[in-house]
Amino acid sequence: MERFVEFGGVRLCVEGIGSPEDPALLLIGGNSGSMDWWDDELCARLAAGGRYVVRYDSRDTGRSTQWPAGEPGYTGADLAGDVGRVLDGLGIEAAHVLGVSSGGAIAQQVAVEHPERVRTLTLVATSFGGPASVAWEDLPQSTDAVTASFADPAPDPDWTDREAVVNHIVAGQRVFAGTLPVDEERLAAFVRRAFDRTPDMAAAWKNHWMAEPGPPIRAGIASITAPTLVLHGTADPLFPYGHGEALAREIPGARLVPLSGMGHEMPPPQVWDVLVPAVLEHTSRR
């Protein structure tokens, strides 16, 4: 059931799946991602493993507070701070934290700055979210197609036209696919649900990218003490697999599990038989 966590004139829409008596597993999505991108079946499988799965609409997405498109009234530091605010709103002292893409960078920041809130850390399809001994230029670079997509983005759709928005977002995801077959109708269903829950899709899709990052993390990610699992697609075109390998080397004791054929995307059903057991085993640690 959806509920709201409210603070300082901001409200975040939050949903818990499973029993609140079970250990909490907090899911943090990537840029522009409402909770709608967390597949219901995936959440149900994790909850069936004895986890209280918590997903939420980050600022500007879904039913959470929005700002005008192009004018985000928050920073990246605020997005990271929202993790603690969500946990406080649910009365949870510490959770197992799982972040995808930029959500993985947020998860790293929380693990560095508020280690008491993070029981375990799981990083999916992400790269360094703070200082590291590895230089960015020494990591594998994005594919030419991905680089070109950022340099010359497709024209905006009519953000009030549901199917135009669906077609725009689904088309934009193609460049981030790996070698696994992509179910575009499944992606379209996520976008339709997000569109129906979001008053302003332009703000949802643009503002995270425009927000100032906020103060940098002071300590390196090598200071992370939470047991860490790194799950990374072997065909990620934005952060090639070497990023996952480097994360696993940098964070003490981290374990790396490859997701065969996955690109830079929310984990598709083809990898769940690897991902779900790995996450449940990892989050059984104390």
C-alpha R_g of the chain: 18
pLDDT tens-digit readout, 84-134: 999 999 999 999 999 999 999 999 999 999 999 999 999 999 999 999 999
**For residue 149, pLDDT beyond 80:** yes
Structure-token match 């039913």, residue found: 63
Question: Quick one: pLDDT band at residue 156, thresholds 50, 70, 90?
Answer: very high
Structure-token match 């959806």, residue found: 2
Work out how many domains the chain is built from and give that number.
Answer: 1
DSSP 8-state assignment for residue 129:
S
Average pLDDT over residues 169-187: 97
- The pair of structure tokens assigned to 58 is 């980050």
Average pLDDT over residues 231-241: 98
Question: Quick one: pLDDT band at residue 247, thresholds 50, 70, 90?
Answer: very high
Nearest CA among 172, 168, 151, 171 for reference residue 159:
168
- The pair of structure tokens assigned to 134 is 């590895």
pLDDT of residue 215: 82
pLDDT tens-digit readout, 24-81: 999 999 999 999 999 999 999 999 999 999 999 999 999 999 999 999 999 999 999 9
Catalytic residue numbers read 101, 236, 264
Question: Quick one: pLDDT band at residue 286, thresholds 50, 70, 90?
Answer: low
Average pLDDT over residues 255-268: 98
Question: Quick one: pLDDT band at residue 216, thresholds 50, 70, 90?
Answer: confident
pTM: 0.97
DSSP 8-state assignment for residue 56:
E
Own/partner long-range contacts of 138-141 (Cβ < 8 Å, ≥24 apart): 139/240, 139/242, 139/243, 139/246, 140/240, 140/241, 140/242, 140/243, 141/240
Nearest CA among 43, 27, 24 for reference residue 100:
27
Cα angle value 149/79/282 (rounded, 5°): 90
Nearest CA among 186, 191, 188, 185 for reference residue 204:
191
**For residue 285, pLDDT beyond 80:** no
Average pLDDT over residues 200-218: 92
18: containing domain = 2-282
Q: Could you tell me the CATH number of the domain that includes residue 171?
A: 3.40.50.1820
Query: What is the amino acid identity at position 222?
Result: A
Mean pLDDT in the chain?
97
Q: Which residues contact 95 (CB under 8 A, 6 or more apart)?
A: 23, 24, 25, 26, 54, 87, 117, 118, 119
Q: Output the 3-class SS for 5-39.
A: EEECCEEEEEEEECCCCCCEEEEECCCCCCHHHCC
Average pLDDT over residues 262-268: 98
